[in-house]
Amino acid sequence: MNRSSILNGRVIDPASGLDTVADLHLADGRIAAIGAAPDGFEGATRIEAAGLTVIPGLVDLAARLGEPGGEHKQKLARELRAAVAGGVTTVCAMPDTHPALDETGLVQMLRQRAEALGLARVLPLGALTRGLEGQELTEFAKLRDAGCVGFSQADAPLSDTRVLYRAMQYAATHGIALRVRPQDARLAAGGVAHDGQVASRLGLPAIPTAAETVAISTIVILMKDTGARIHLERVSSREGLEMVAAARAYGLPLSCDVAINHVHLADVDIGYFDSNMRLSPPLRGVSDRDAIQHALLDGTVDAICSDHTPVGNDDKLLPFGEAKPGASGLELLLPLTLAWAEQRRVPLAQALARVTSAPAALLGLDAGRIGVGAPADLCLFDPHAEWRVGPETLLSSGKHTPFAGLSLRGRVRHTLVGGRLAHTEPGAA
Per residue in 298-352, pLDDT (tens digit) is 999 999 999 999 999 999 999 999 999 999 999 999 999 999 999 999 999 999 9
From 29, 46, 27, 88, select the one nearest 63 (Cα to Cα): 88
> Where residue 153 falls among pLDDT bands split at 50, 70, 90?
very high
What's the pTM value of the predicted model, to 2 decimals? 0.97
**What confidence score (pLDDT) does residue 2 get?**
83
**What confidence score (pLDDT) does residue 393 get?**
95
Length of the chain: 429
Measured in Å, how far apart are the chain's first and last C-alpha atoms?
A: 23
Encode pLDDT of 376-411 as tens digits.
999 999 999 999 999 999 999 999 999 999 999 999
Give mean pLDDT, residues 205-214.
Answer: 98
- Cα Rg, the chain, nearest whole Å: 21
> Where residue 1 falls among pLDDT bands split at 50, 70, 90?
low
Is residue 48's pLDDT more than 80? yes
From 83, 57, 99, 59, select the one nearest 310 (Cα to Cα): 83
> Where residue 41 falls among pLDDT bands split at 50, 70, 90?
confident
Mean pLDDT of the chain: 96
Residues 30 and 117: their CA atoms lie apart, in Å, by 20
**What confidence score (pLDDT) does residue 402 get?**
97
Residue 311, CB-side half-sphere exposure with 13 Å CA sphere: 25
Encode pLDDT of 307-321 as tens digits.
999 999 999 999 999
Is 145 noted as a catalytic residue in this protein?
A: no
**What confidence score (pLDDT) does residue 228 get?**
96
Give mean pLDDT, residues 356-375.
Answer: 97
Give mean pLDDT, residues 369-376.
Answer: 97
**What confidence score (pLDDT) does residue 380 get?**
98
**What confidence score (pLDDT) does residue 429 get?**
64
**Cβ–Cβ contacts within 10 Å for residue 389, how many?**
21
Query: Out of 307, 314, 377, 382, which one is annotated catalytic?
Result: 307
Encode pLDDT of 238-248 as tens digits.
999 999 999 99
Give mean pLDDT, residues 228-247.
Answer: 98
